[in-house]
Amino acid sequence: MSQNRRSQKKGYTHFGYEEVPIAEKRARVGAVFSSVARRYDLMNDLMSLGIHRLWKRFVVDLAAVRPGESVLDLAGGTGDLAAAFAAQVFRQGDSATSPGLVVLADINADMLAQARARLTDRGLVELPLVQANAECLPFADGSFDCITIGFGLRNVTDKDAALRSMARALKPGGRLLVLEFSKPRSSGLAKLYDQYSFKVLPTLGRLVARDEGAYRYLAESIRRHPDQETLKGMMEEAGLGRVQVYNLTGGIVAVHRGWRLE
């Protein structure tokens, strides 16, 4: 049973370790990302010691996007994944039956503003940006060959609805890749990770992003997120098949890949 179905009260969900009304969670998550948007990239580098770039590279390689394909990057942050996919979709010298498409979507306007600035710096001024809720994507059925969501699913209020919406927007034969913090596979690593998460992350948040609470929420939201097997089952319930799980850095992060089979 997924996290979304275990709320203590009807109409409530979790915000970190708190139980809050559903509408309040959306507002509070929005406030978190508006607060950290300007220092989002710096904090990612500091928190992961730069390893987040290797995790994203793994996703790009696993997605195996080809020239001419259509890609949606949800919760796209400042555009790391979208830029990497654009380099593949629009690759020069390769034949393709269509011009290809890469769309970056995020529910938060402040994050989209940061994405636009970063993508402009990379020369990707025409890449479409869409403000969208993952639970009800504003795209027709079968729009994309590939959809990715990196470090965003745990912030979605109704994860089951979001997974169904993503599956619907995939073309038959299309794939969804979920990159997310998960559960360390060894008890020793889990203990070290807990110490780091609840002591170091909030301190970094206070000193660098000027928002300790946002990074305390980050640590708590990771603990409330479904583990590897639970998320695999949720993806299958959403209509995705051949779901595979790839543990990275001892399971601190996991990539789930599933396919829309029909």
Q: Bridge partners of 101?
A: 70
The Cα 177–Cα 150 span in angstroms is 8
SS3 253: strand
Please answer whether residues 79 and 150 qualify as being in contact, where contact means their C-beta atoms are separated by less than 8 angstroms: no
Q: Render pLDDT for 228-246 as a digit per residue (tens, 0 to 9).
A: 999 999 999 999 999 999 9
What is the structure's pLDDT at 63?
A: 98
Q: Average pLDDT for residues 83-92, to the nearest whole number?
A: 90
DSSP conformational letter for 38? G
Over pLDDT 90: what percentage of the chain?
70
Residue showing tokens 């220092």: 39
Domains of the chain: 3-260 (3.40.50.150)
The yes-or-no verdict on residue 77 having pLDDT over 50 is yes
The Cα 235–Cα 242 span in angstroms is 10
Say which amino acid occupies 17.
Answer: Y
The Cα 135–Cα 244 span in angstroms is 22
**Strands 12-15 vs 18-21: parallel, antiparallel or unpaired:** antiparallel
Q: Compute how many other C-beta atoms are within 10 angstroms of the C-beta atom of residue 133.
A: 18
What is the structure's pLDDT at 2?
A: 43
Q: Render pLDDT for 154-187 as a digit per residue (tens, 0 to 9).
A: 999 999 999 999 999 999 999 999 999 999 999 9
Q: What tokens appear for 29 in the block? A: 């998550």
Q: Render pLDDT for 133-158 as a digit per residue (tens, 0 to 9).
A: 999 999 999 999 999 999 999 999 99
Q: Bridge partners of 19?
A: 14
Q: Render pLDDT for 96-118 as a digit per residue (tens, 0 to 9).
A: 567 899 999 999 999 999 999 99
Q: What tokens appear for 30 in the block? A: 């929005």
Q: Render pLDDT for 22-72 as a digit per residue (tens, 0 to 9).
A: 888 888 888 888 988 888 888 888 889 899 999 999 999 999 999 999 999
Predicted TM-score of the model (pTM): 0.91
DSSP conformational letter for 51? T
Please answer whether residues 101 and 66 qualify as being in contact, where contact means their C-beta atoms are separated by less than 8 angstroms: no
The Cα 255–Cα 257 span in angstroms is 7
How far does the chain reach from its first CA to its final CA, in angstroms? Answer: 25
What is the structure's pLDDT at 96?
A: 59
What is the structure's pLDDT at 94?
A: 60
The Cα 218–Cα 15 span in angstroms is 10
| Ramachandran assignment for 130, one of left (phi > 0), alpha (psi -120 to 50 degrees), beta (any other) | beta
Q: What tokens appear for 98 in the block? A: 């269509």
What is the structure's pLDDT at 1?
A: 43
pLDDT, the chain, mean: 91
Least confident of 70-79, 175-184, 194-203: 194-203
